[in-house]
Structure 1
């Protein structure tokens, strides 16, 4: 199998799957597809992150928030529905993932959600928060490059929250991020069900 959920396009059948999930305290009727990450429901790592948003830094009202690797959109939708004054960007290399997230934004009434390919995000934009279940399986080198690229676009006061499996290298990744971002504190803020929530703090 040469296609992955992190491929830009896919020849896999685009059969849409109905998806009923609870996000930001709301029961939502959304759609997904088998060709995107966790297409049949909310994956465990994302659920851990969303269940522990009260343990990470609260973005200011009207914040610009980035969901890095949005899939069908659960993190971006949560951010957008929690704060309608926020400007939420959902990015993914997968065209199908972007289509699904855009459709789910319409279904949920999240008018403050912008869906884009990574290369289409304006260079001058800076983010107050990044919330992400990053694509660990793209490989260490590609993952490191991705995280450095986007954490560099945090505002000085901005923070990032990443959920990573313990058995997929959460602790080594936390140490590496701390080494690469010496001006920002990197810490483990939560741990549950085999996952860590890592937080990259503001510049000091």
Structure 2
């Protein structure tokens, strides 16, 4: 059976190595490995997402599908927030734990298929969807994210327009009060979906 980066236990032999990630004028070293997402460099879409949203982040932030941890670590280094990181891939989670430790970032890092092992509520959830996993998986994760957002909380996703960006936006619009495109770069769109409280008509 072929192993994917969104597999729970990658079958690809482990072969750890270091990579450099430039961000805001500094270069950060991360340990990476075979069998994880974007193993050789900081994924362009993830970078676009982080740069677009990082200055707005506050409260409790979830890096959903954290991989080896660049998004969560960079957020923890640059924002005074509580960071939680989850991934279904056990190897990725071990790398993320190592990378938070090496950079002195305090974060909760968990193995979880989506948010199944997560009880906490969040003010922001950042998510670069695993397109190859298919729409059913991605839309389930949208729904799980919605359930774990505080009132007024925001789901931030990055997606390529040609890989389902329009349909993903329509799905989010069916669930959230507002959906805004805050950045477009290199074919990637960064969407922010805001959860609002249910309002009831006042009696006449």
1:74 to 70, 73, 79: 70
* Aligned partners of 1:101 and 1:115 also within 8 Å: yes
- Structure 1: runs of 5 or more not aligned: none
Report the RMSD for the aligned CA atoms in angstroms: 1.6
1:11 offset after TM fit, Å? 2.0
**TM-aligned CA distance change 1:70 to 1:24, over 3 Å:** farther
Distance in 1 (CA, whole Å) between partners of 2:33 and 2:4 is 13
Structure showing greater radius of gyration is 2
Matched, 1:117 2:117: no
Aligned to 1:86: 81
1:190 offset after TM fit, Å? 1.1
**TM-aligned CA distance change 1:51 to 1:59, over 3 Å:** closer
Aligned to 2:99: 104
1:24 offset after TM fit, Å? 5.7
Distance in 2 (CA, whole Å) between partners of 1:171 and 1:191 is 13
Aligned to 1:31: 31
* Aligned partners of 2:173 and 2:179 also within 8 Å: yes
Give the TM-score taking structure 1 as reference length. Answer: 0.89
Aligned to 2:156: 161
Distance in 1 (CA, whole Å) between partners of 2:27 and 2:17 is 16
- Structure 2: runs of 5 or more not aligned: 198-204
Structure 2 counterpart SS, 1:203? coil
1:152 to 143, 147, 155: 147
1:26 offset after TM fit, Å? 3.6
Post-superposition CA distance 1:120-169 (Å, at most 9, x none): 32x2x110101121212210111101110112210002111100011111
* Aligned partners of 2:63 and 2:126 also within 8 Å: yes
Runs of 4+ in 1 over 4 A off after TM superposition: none
1:50 offset after TM fit, Å? 2.0
Aligned to 2:183: 190
Q: Alignment length, in residue pairs?
A: 194
Aligned to 1:175: 170
1:25 offset after TM fit, Å? 5.0
**TM-aligned CA distance change 1:25 to 1:77, over 3 Å:** farther
Give the TM-score taking structure 2 as reference length. Answer: 0.89
Matched, 1:127 2:122: yes
